[in-house]
Structure 1
Amino acid sequence: MIKVHGALARITRNFGWLYTSHSFSFGGYFDPGNTEFGPLRVFNDDRVQPLKGFDFHKHEEMEIVTVVLRGELQHEDTLGNKTVTRAGEVQRMTAGTGIEHSETNPSASEEVELLQLWFTPNEEGLTPSYEQAAYDLDSRKNEWVPVVTGRPGESAAGDGDDGVKPARIHQDLTLYLAELEPGQALTFSQKPGRRMYVFVIEGSATADGAYKLSRRDAARITEQERLELHTETGARLMLIDLP
């Protein structure tokens, strides 16, 4: 079953320094019928203005993945990490028993655009940790590129000729990205009983020949073991294979 959630159906807020759209209940927005999709708890689409961001704040018992689409995001945490994540990179933070961090845009002239996803971990009481990973969609077009995974076998499958490995996450899921050229199609197959979450980052695509997805639209897919996505104009896609 495929259920499309259009970009305009998201809750969008403009704080001046932050423009954000929530796909699930978050902060002051609460919909009891829209709190999660499997272990996927938060999917925020953020744009942060130059030299602005989130001051130090605490997280617990959550796996937090950030995909930078444009610009730079500076991360600092109580583990001593201080890094900058750029387009073409992803970060994974295990909050576990508790971690404080800040997220800021270090640029004085350009905003940063990012997607931030929160997943419930497969166990509580984990030791907090942080990791970054890089990927290159330009050299691997028209294929699913795993950038975050919790599956032992996915790491080897995700190693391209450049030797880049996906970030590790404490959950039975894999997050893929794909750069699909005009006129191309991609299929994805999974085991029975699992879920797929599809998000169109840029461009447009059609799912199984019937469901049209435009920029920032999402599809929540259940009870389906195979999916085909086709694009006429080109698309940058995210697909998450979820329990």
Structure 2
Amino acid sequence: MIQITPSDKRFSAKSDWLESHFSFSFGSYYDEENIHFGPLRVLNDDIIQPGKGFGIHPHRDAEIVSIVLKGQLKHEDSLKNVGILKFGDIQRMTAGTGVLHSEFNPTSDEETHILQLWFMPNKKQLSPSYEDISFDTDNLHNKLLPIVSSSPVENAAMIHQDVTLYLSKLDSDKELHFQQEAGRKIYLFIIEGEISLNSDVTLQKRDDARITDLHELTLQAKQDSSFLLIDLPGGEE
């Protein structure tokens, strides 16, 4: 089954410094039918204005992945990690027993655009930890590039959950094929462009697809496109 959520059906919130679009219940947005998809609990699509950001705040028992699409993101945390991320960098933070961190746009003249995802960990009360990795953006071209995985993958961040995150930039009219084991789930988020799934369903910019009981996909770009694909375990957790 393929369940599509069009981009205009996401909940959105906007202030003078932040524009957010929530794919799952978050903050003031609550929908008991849209809490999570497998262990994927949050996908926030955020635009942060120059010199602004999220002040120091706590997290616990979550695997947090930040993907910078545009601009820069500065991170500081109670583990003494400090870093600036840009496109081509991925951050994974295990909140575990508890961590404090802040995230903000360190520039004076450029918006920062990020995707932030939270996953329920495969074990609670883990020791907090932090990792950032960089990948060659050329390797996104017409490929599924693993950027986060529970299995050891070169140039991919490690995560405490049975998931693998792939990024791709697909040229117009090009195809990619994806296959997973039976009993698992697929989450697909279109970052830019337009993608056809198995010649049956078309997704456009910022649409998502939640896929169950279908373990082989053919993704065809109707125009130059980029997307995030997540291979998730089956079941409710």
**So what's the TM-score if we normalise by structure 1?**
0.94
Cα shift readout 1:194-243 (whole Å, capped 9, x = no counterpart): 00000111111111101111001100000111011101211101100000
Matches within 5 A, 1:45-194: 45-152=45-152, 155=153, 159=154, 165-194=155-184
Aligned-partner Cα distance in 2 for 1:173–1:40: 9
CA contact (8 A) 1:137 1:145 kept: no
- Pick the aligned partner of 1:233 from 223, 228, 233: 223
Q: Secondary structure at the match of 2:137?
A: coil
Q: How many residues align?
A: 233
Give the structure 2 partner of residue 162 of structure 1: none
CA contact (8 A) 1:137 1:178 kept: no
Q: Which amino acid aligns with 2:204?
A: S
Aligned-partner Cα distance in 1 for 2:139–2:114: 22
CA contact (8 A) 2:140 2:167 kept: no
RMSD (Å), alpha carbons? 0.8
- Pick the aligned partner of 2:189 from 196, 199, 204: 199
Any unmatched runs of 5+ in structure 2? none
Aligned-partner Cα distance in 2 for 1:227–1:151: 22
Q: Secondary structure at the match of 1:138?
A: helix
Aligned-partner Cα distance in 1 for 2:218–2:151: 23
Aligned-partner Cα distance in 2 for 1:137–1:176: 12
Q: Which amino acid aligns with 1:197?
A: Y
CA contact (8 A) 1:176 1:238 kept: yes
Give the structure 1 partner of residue 29 of structure 2: 29
**So what's the TM-score if we normalise by structure 2?**
0.97
Quick check: 224-233 or 36-45, which moved more? 224-233
CA contact (8 A) 1:198 1:239 kept: yes
Give the structure 2 partner of residue 215 of structure 1: 205
CA contact (8 A) 1:138 1:179 kept: no
Q: Secondary structure at the match of 1:84?
A: strand
Give, in angstroms, the shift of residue 15 of structure 1: 1.1
Cα shift readout 1:158-205 (whole Å, capped 9, x = no counterpart): x3xxxxx10000000000001111110111100011000001111111
Aligned-partner Cα distance in 2 for 1:137–1:79: 29
Distance change >3 Å, CA 44–CA 189, structure 1 → 2: same
Give, in angstroms, the shift of residue 142 of structure 1: 1.0
